[in-house]
Amino acid sequence: MMLAGILQALRDLPEEVDPEVAARMGYLEWVMTLPEGCPEAAAAEVAEQRAAPLARNSRPVALFCGYLRQTRELSVPASAPTRRGGGGRRRH
């Protein structure tokens, strides 16, 4: 699975690589490899559950988990459009 490879790369990150940049790149790789139609929030929750134990000992993994958390928090289902009146309301 792609997530396992990303987590391994983040855990084995050389010291000269910026952990923030690596976490962002790992997140982008993860999100771009999700299957089409896959709900990002649900996938992010599963990925974070798998990554969380590793985050305690790895700053890059912890930052990656932060991106996954943001995905869950920002992925709110779109509400159905509602009519607010307009011409129909004025005619009554």
Please list the rounded mean pLDDT of every run of 10 residues in the chain (92 residues).
Answer: 92 96 97 93 95 96 97 72 64 62
**What local confidence, expressed as pLDDT, does residue 86 receive?**
65
Q: How far apart are CA 60 and CA 22, in angstroms?
A: 7
Buried b (16+ CB within 10 A) or exposed e, 48-58: beebeebbeeb
85 in a structural domain: no
Domain membership of residue 84 (yes or no) is no
Cα–Cα distance measured from residue 31 to residue 11, given in angstroms and rounded to the nearest whole number: 19
Count of domains forming the chain: 1
In a domain, 90, yes or no: no
State residue 75's pLDDT score: 75
Domain for residue 65, yes or no?
yes
In this prediction, residue 81 carries a pLDDT of 63
28 domain residue, yes or no: yes
26 within a domain of the structure (yes/no) = yes
Q: Is residue 7 part of a domain?
A: yes
pLDDT at position 91 is 65
Residue 86, domain member (yes or no): no
| Domain region containing 70 | 2-11+20-34+42-74
